[in-house]
């Protein structure tokens, strides 16, 4: 169990139970694929953030934080199913992707099932503010998916557009989870929303660094996947903008051709030109902003975990 699960261990177990119960379907394939992807060994960080946000802000009058934590995991899992189809991914979290096993069509349709199940559960909670947060978040995430797809193979992507994409695809759901925890606790939504946004940005930038220099056996995906998918990530953007013409062309061709054939050479270019250090520095800036957003919270074991998470986001190896 990761350090951020321990303070909410009992509630986290209840979330897992609710997830399994809510996956039940009369259609066997739906349940099989849903269970496979949900049970694939992820950190379940987004559900934990909901729990931590609610409890750190004093929520103690019900079990809706359990339901919202399960809802956010379903939404996240749906995006993973769709992502893997769009990216033609064969490996996630160290296991074959659902689309690799069952095919693209079943994966997309089960993703749709998980989205709809999440909104059925939201109706049960019947909190219009929370429903609004998730409705807006899923719409923004979808925009991010389309934006990323449209830019696949585009070697001219700039840092500003890169940040827009990772905010929409990743940070927006972190933001939503933290905000909903505060809504339940009738607390400061703005501070928790700010924390979630910057934590998500830090996590995604660190992910993009790990794609270049992580350990496949640890991070559970193939190194260089971003190159193979034609994604211009921050380390690549920085290296492209600070390289000699020949180096620049090597990066551009890899992105245009969606090829990791020259991965080792590109990694050397990115490292030598400071792309990794630059990216980790940007991630650290977001981590610092996340920590700043916690200042108004009263001290508690939950605040301590949120504090440690902001640091972990940048230093992690998985």
* Banded pLDDT at 1 (limits 50, 70, 90): low
Report the C-alpha gap between 154 and 149 in whole angstroms.
10
pLDDT tens track for 214-271? 664 444 456 788 999 999 999 999 999 999 999 999 999 999 999 999 999 999 999 9
Question: What pLDDT shows up at residue 219?
Answer: 45
Q: What percent of the chain has pLDDT over 90?
A: 74
**pTM flag (> 0.95):** no
Q: What are phi and psi of 180, to 5 degrees?
A: -70, -35
Question: What pLDDT shows up at residue 37?
Answer: 79
Q: What are phi and psi of 262, to 5 degrees?
A: -100, 35
Sign of CA dihedral 274, 280, 283, 288: negative
Residue 159 pLDDT > 60: yes
Report the C-alpha gap between 163 and 204 in whole angstroms.
10
Cβ–Cβ < 8 Å for 8, 303:
no
Report the C-alpha gap between 257 and 32 in whole angstroms.
35
Which residues partner with 91 through β-bridges? 96
Residue 83 pLDDT > 90: no
C-alpha distance from residue 148 to each of 22, 68, 225, 232 (Å): 31, 27, 14, 10
Question: What pLDDT shows up at residue 215?
Answer: 61
Lowest mean pLDDT among 20-29, 88-97, 169-178: 88-97
Cβ–Cβ < 8 Å for 114, 34:
yes
Between residues 81 and 303, the one the model is more confident about = 303
């Amino acid at each position: 169990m990761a350090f951020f699960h321990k303070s909410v261990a009992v509630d986290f177990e209840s979330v897992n139970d609710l997830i399994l119960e809510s996956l039940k379907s009369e259609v066997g394939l739906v349940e099989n694929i849903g269970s496979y992807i949900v049970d694939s060994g992820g950190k379940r960080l987004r559900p934990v953030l909901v729990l931590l946000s609610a409890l750190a802000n004093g929520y103690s009058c019900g079990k809706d934080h359990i339901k919202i934590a399960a809802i956010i995991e379903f939404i996240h899992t749906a995006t993973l199913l769709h992502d893997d189809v769009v990216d033609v991914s064969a490996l996630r979290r160290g296991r074959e992707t659902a689309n690799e096993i069952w095919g693209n069509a079943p994966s997309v349709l089960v993703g749709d099932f998980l989205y709809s199940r999440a909104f059925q559960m939201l109706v049960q909670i019947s909190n219009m503010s929370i429903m609004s947060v998730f409705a807006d978040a899923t719409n923004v995430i979808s925009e991010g998916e389309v934006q990323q797809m449209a830019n696949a193979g585009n070697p001219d992507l700039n840092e500003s557009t890169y940040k827009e994409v990772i905010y929409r695809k990743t940070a927006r759901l972190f933001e939503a989870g933290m905000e909903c925890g505060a809504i339940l606790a009738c607390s400061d939504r703005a501070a928790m929303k700010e924390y979630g946004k910057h934590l998500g940005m830090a996590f995604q930038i660190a992910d993009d660094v790990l794609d270049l220099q992580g350990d496949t056996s640890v991070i559970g995906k193939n190194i260089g996947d971003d190159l193979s998918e034609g994604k211009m990530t921050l380390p690549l953007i920085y290296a492209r903008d600070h390289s000699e013409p020949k180096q620049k062309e090597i990066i551009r061709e890899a992105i245009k051709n969606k090829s990791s054939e020259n991965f080792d050479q590109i990694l050397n270019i990115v490292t030598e030109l400071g792309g990794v250090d630059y990216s980790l520095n940007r991630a650290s800036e977001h981590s610092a902003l996340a920590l700043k957003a916690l200042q108004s919270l009263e001290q508690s074991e939950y605040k301590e975990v949120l504090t440690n998470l902001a640091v972990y986001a940048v230093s992690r190896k998985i």
